[in-house]
Structure 1
Amino acid sequence: MDSKSNKSRRIIDCDIHHQIRSTDDLLPYLSSHYRSQVETWGLQLPALPTLNGGVGGRRVDSFPPSGNPPASEVPFTVEQLFEPFNVEYGILTGEFQPVTTTPDANYAAALCAAYNDYTIEHWLEKDSRMKGSIMLPIQNPLLAAKEIERVGSHKDMVQAIAPSGARALYGQRVYDPIYEACERYGLPFTIHIGMEGFGINPSPTGAGHPSYYIEYRSVRPQLLMAHLASFIFEGVFERFPSLKVVMLEAGVFWVVPYLWRLDQDWKALRYQTPWVTKKPSEYFMEHVFIGSQPIETGPSPAAFKSMLEWMNGKDKILFCSDYPHWDFDSPAMAFPKLDEETMNNIHYNNAAKLYGLKPAAREAAI
């Protein structure tokens, strides 16, 4: 594992699952109509149909002394993650994906707006190291684009986010209003794994629902494969040439053979999609980033480095800890020993460039 001191390498953690302390946190940000609805019925959102790992999916030690949920308090998150590992910035990805699976899109939009406003007030304004993701009511792309318009200019909102589970693949034109808004505000569109088979979303596999959580984890790459092919062959990157896409929490090295296959099939079938003017691997290298968690360690360091080289991981991977989940990746232990340029790019430089983050004042002054 990487032996460099935790305190000597700067980190941008691109996947921190902050959450509300309770449903009551959202009430001040809702209209009287929805506030009354939530007070009477609760949020009424779908839940994971299988067991997760850890304690409710979280690290055993991630529960703050107050008894509030993990990653629901800025000071404890800073104490447990930022300070020990020299995390200079943390990209908050939330714990609110089920909102995207309810059939009532207007309700989903209201909840997303409330969640985003809560994040701004109680996280981004409390610590300059925190950066936010705009939670989108992805079941209605027009409402999702409207939410980007509403908060996309906020200086600490650095991306728009949606789950991999959706009613249609993300390359289809119905989502174009979202990408137009992302491009206008300079925000990456981020897909975080999850919500496949929940609520209004179709089954996570073509053959139905898995029985166990480990099966859900094992099929995650196929969701991102499907979205990636859709982006490329539907021509999204031709229509939106400055759009960046981030894919989180489905592993990493599936990318290598998949790009080989896409390039091979494109050579034989490109007459069907004449608007795709480049090899699929070229679109990937120009537009797509992959989160590191959970990265496959492989049978040996040599195999790991080979796969990393094949996908240009030095420039394409963003470090993600997945805090406070049970399968948290420590910045000090997630990777085998690699050259300093690669380690610094993955842990800091790639994200800094993608999100436009400047070195913190304490670093700039050195």
Structure 2
Amino acid sequence: MFFQIVHISGTTVYCICAILLWWINRVPRTNPGAGWWAGAILAAAVSRALLFALDGAGDPRTVLFAYGLFSGLEKTLLALGIVRFLKLPAGERWVRTAAGLFGGGLVLAWLSPALPLWTLRAALAGFNLGMLAFVAIACLRHCPADTGPWLRVAAFFSGLLALHWATAFPLIEAFPGWRVTGLALGTVLVLVQYLALLACVLRQFQQRLMDAESKALDLAYFDPLTGLNNKNYLSKLFEQALVLATRPHHLVAVCYIDLDNFKPINDSAGHKAGDMVLQEVAQRLKSCIRSTDISARIGGDEFVVVATQLEQPDQVERIASKLLERLSADIHIGGATYPLGASIGISLYPQHGDTLSSLIDAADTAMYQVKSTHKNGYALYDQSEPPERAAAAG
């Protein structure tokens, strides 16, 4: 009775695993190993069903041949799935060659009554042991990071199964009662092995989702050309900057930067050169701001720098002067030299506004005050002074 329970439960669980792996394999861009493993565990279910159906009702040689044929097919598909999963093209030729030799030898042993039954058993045990050892070694040597520990679990149980096949037939010969116990043990080991492989595929799905989410966040919050923050992310970071600004004697400055002489570069050298200039500008901004400051690109050639944790208003002028010096230096790209400049408007929190939008508007107004005079300078927002009379320093 226990023999029948082991067969029926094992075959049923194998079929469920095969369905799960086949279903997962239908998902676009799934690692192809899942499809091979679905076929492998289905072959294991068929071998188990054949052993149950033919046991005691047919020639032992035929029973062992039928069982061995599908058991060997299962190990072959398992190994090919590992080869595809780990992208090991050299291993596929070895697996196919070994499977072909095993299949031919199995048929020859079955069709040759003069050969003792143990030759069939030895061929089956030797082939399965070799395939499982290959799977275990390949998993351990080429385990990708995105599978987590699950591929190592599969390798461990593949090694246990290899040991199981190495000892199964000798133990059955010595202890006939081991036949049922060994079958139950093998069922459990195979089940854990395939569940670990299923977990590897699901872990890759999880990693894909995390990577997609990270990429989506990059697209939502970062400028793809320069790598700087964009306006959406600037708004979020500004809220954190205001928390620091609420500390006693701390200020936040918003510097609105509009590049001078950028349009002629685009017109004369082309947009590719213009993009390279913007990338160089972004690198210069990153190099001259502090770790607590925020830089962002908010338009074609317009940038914003938020300077945080300022204790004295005159610190703003030093920051603006440093930005102006770096941005006014000629840019050398592809053997050409491009003169550049910057008009910088500055606003302070809380004197000129208490929201990012109001502070950017004030800094933008100050920037146009610089533009209306001589460009390539900076000015602090002064609401009482009309644009045409604003003093631009630097």
Tell me the TM-score normalized by structure 1: 0.21
Q: Larger relative CO (CA 8 A, sep 6+): 1 or 2?
A: 1
Which structure would you say has the larger Rg?
A: 2
Larger helix proportion of the pair: 2
